[in-house]
Amino acid sequence: MTPLASVLDRIAAALERLTPPPPPAPDFSNADAFVWQAASQHLQPVERVNRVAISLLKGIDRVRDTLLDNTARFASGLPANNALLWGARGMGKSSLVKAVHAEVVAARRAGDPLKLVEIHREDIESLPELMARLRPARCRFIVFCDDLSFDGGDTSYKSLKAALEGGLEGRPDNVLFYATSNRRHLIPRDMVDNERATAINPGEAVEEKVSLSDRFGLWLGFHNCSQDEYLTMVMAYAAHFRVPTPPDVLAREALEWAATRGNRSGRVAWQFIQDSAGRAGVTISGADAPG
């Protein structure tokens, strides 16, 4: 071997030592749910998902049935849509995604497994890398992002658009994307107005922003609940967790609880039940909490 070849071999070996090894292929048999760790390109198994039974989600029957049907069709290999669950805070958007996943998994007896993968909002730019990791797997995946929105000069929405529909490869056939947001349009109006003011073609600038929501075939709206719906949620939780407080007392205290918060929602109902159960000496597992 010539001296030059020896030097080149040493340089190549040093570069290989500096280059991190590729991440190992994920083992999806470990769990039904995973969290995407973007920094390490790792899918972290979740031993016990923080969710409630779908029967405890009250006042959202229409959107529940729509999302359940969409998810069941996808799990069976049939066409299905990406879904955006938008609207009032605390009305069970993320809880429904997790509950629907559990319901479909429990009902399946054959076919490819259905896994739930959560990606954090701040890691959306890594969505294409996550899709690439999931594409070759013999599973089907619901990729889920909670509280998704974009502000200011944030351009990571472009990664989301490309991952959902664009690009040469497009979205993998075994991946569906569900997101929750307080906004129907993920881009705020002031961001659209700023873009329009500086754009050569204002109409095209607005169209680019609005088209992000169009990547979701299902728009499922969640609205503030009525007093009757709120009390139905409270009573369902009380019955499920066997809170011994008499119904008339429970209803009166639940309304007082909501009044102090100026809001009625599934989250407020859950917070009240935690307080009521604690005062009654009833234990509730943290993993039973709605998301």
Q: Number of folded domains in the chain?
A: 2
**Other Cβ atoms within 10 Å of 198 Cβ, number:** 8
What is the mean pLDDT for each group of 10 consecutive residues in the chain (291 residues)? Answer: 66 62 72 93 91 89 96 95 92 94 91 93 90 92 91 71 68 92 70 48 53 82 92 94 94 96 91 94 71 55
Residue 204 domain-assigned (yes or no)? yes
The CATH number covering residue 65 comes to 3.40.50.300
Domain boundary among 222, 237, 272: 222
> Do 216 and 84 share a domain, yes or no?
yes
Token code pair at residue 234: 């409270």
- Residues 212 and 232 placed together within one structural domain of the fold: no
User: Are 171 and 140 a contacting pair, CB within 8 Å?
Assistant: no
Please give the pLDDT value at position 192. Answer: 47
For residues 54 and 94, what is the distance between their CA atoms, to the nearest angstrom?
12
Are residue 161 and residue 209 in the same domain, yes or no? Answer: yes
Domain end point (choices 222, 242, 262): 222
What pTM value is reported for the model? Answer: 0.81
The answer to whether 79 and 214 are in contact (CB under 8 A) is no
Query: Looking at the domain assignment, is residue 189 inside a domain?
Result: yes
Tell whether 217 is covered by a domain: yes
Domain with 53 in it: 33-222
Contact by Cβ (8 Å): 180, 83: no
* 205 assigned to some structural domain: yes
State whether 87 and 214 are in the same domain: yes
| Boundary residue ending a domain (222, 248, 264) | 222
Residues 69 and 120 occupy one common structural domain:
yes
What is the per-residue DSSP string for 101-116?
HHHHHHH--SSS-EEE
Q: Are residues 50 and 157 in the same domain?
A: yes
User: Rounded CA gap, 217 and 194, in Å?
Assistant: 27
Same domain, 106 and 181: yes
Q: What is the pLDDT of residues 206-220, one digit of tens each?
A: 555 556 777 888 999
pLDDT of residue 157: 74
Instruction: Find the Cα–Cα–Cα–Cα dihedral 34, 179, 210, 91, rounded to 10°.
Output: -160
The reply to whether 67 and 111 lie within a common domain is: yes
Burial class (CB in 10 A: 0-12, 13-18, 19+), 1: exposed
Q: Is 26 part of any domain?
A: no
Tell me, what's the pLDDT at 23? 60
Residues 218 and 248 in one domain: no
pLDDT at 111: 80
How large a percentage of the chain has pLDDT more than 90?
52
